[in-house]
Amino acid sequence: MSQETDKPHLTRTHDLDLLSQMIRIRRFEDKCAELYTQGKIRGFLHLYDGEEAIAVGIIPVLERRDRIVSTYREHGHALARGMPMGVALAEMYGKREGCSRGRGGSMHLFDRATNFFGGNAIVGGGLPLAIGLALADRMRGDKAVTACFFGDGAVAEGEFHESANLAALWRLPVLFVCENNLYAMGTALALSESETDLQHKAACYRIESEAVDGMDVVAVEAAARRAVHAVRETGKPYFLECHTYRLRAHSMFDAQLYRDKAEVEAWRHRDPIVRFQGWLEANHMIHPEELARIETAVVAEIDEAVTFAESGSWEAVEDLTRFVYAEPAT
């Protein structure tokens, strides 16, 4: 593998784009939390605060033909992939203009145009889907990569072991991305896994693997370039474990009684946005007016998305069984 494929393209423009994308995801979800407390978003809402460097570091490295399978904590993935913010928010509102016509909500964002295959409410549920997509590519002789995101909790599920085994056995072009935030809902990793170095689990299936600091967007992007290049060139799976931390609760219903407040505060010092912004400032690569422009643009986009979602329409009652049952032949 050439050295060039390992390196992020750290131009000043690219650095500002990385920061802008992470801020965009963070501010959007801040607004989602606010709208949730107002009762405008209902159901479950799982936020990505603290994990933005993973989506921003990996997804832009993928090509348009590549596919993405995600989790119920997928807003950041969807935005990084190119789903319009208004369409994502309309889905959370339950409006017909949403990406799934308002039928899926926060946990089921889907966008065929960008090869974004969800949004899965079941822990580990996306893993078999990724295997199926990659198998189809293998059978057609395509060079596409399927990137499958999942949390550390999914590694304890049977789907993970079945999927890893088949990916290795059938030489499938899958990039497994484990967003290891140390807690499967309310259960600490050390209480549920005898081996907490999760990349070793992939190695058991003879899958090439590595771990990376998921709070460092530059490190994540460098690892993503290595991983995607390896999958595309060899056609074999690759496992990337990203060590990260969610700075909010598991979901908006979670009282977080299982985490020590001091632990959360310690991780806040490693916030990927604060960390990267601080590095840019220390190296004189961003100016206050540029940061202000980024924040202003993001706020404007969010305001536009809220207007779009709130002005959207509800699915007609007579259409509620559509897509649920097969239409009778005529």
Q: What are phi and psi of 131, to 5 degrees?
A: -65, -40
Q: How many Å apart are CA 75 and CA 71, to the nearest integer?
A: 9
pLDDT tens for 12-30 read 999 999 999 999 999 999 9
Q: Alpha helix locations (H) across 258-316?
A: 261-268, 272-282, 288-310
Within 8 A by CB and 6+ apart from 102, the residues are: 90, 91, 93, 94, 95, 96, 312, 314, 315
pLDDT digits (tens, 9 = 90+) for 86-132: 999 999 999 999 999 999 999 999 999 999 998 999 999 999 999 99
Computed on alpha carbons and rounded to an integer, the radius of gyration of the chain in Å comes to: 20
Contact 102, 94 (CB under 8 A): yes
Domains in the chain and their CATH numbers? 3-309 (3.40.50.970)
The series of mean pLDDT values per 10 residues for the chain, 330 residues long, is 52 95 98 96 95 98 97 97 98 96 94 94 95 96 96 95 97 98 93 92 95 98 98 97 95 89 94 97 94 97 98 90 76
Buried b (16+ CB within 10 A) or exposed e, 273-300: bebbbebbeeeebbeeeebeebeeebee
Residue type, 38: Q
CA 188 to chain centre: 21
Q: What is the pTM of this model?
A: 0.93
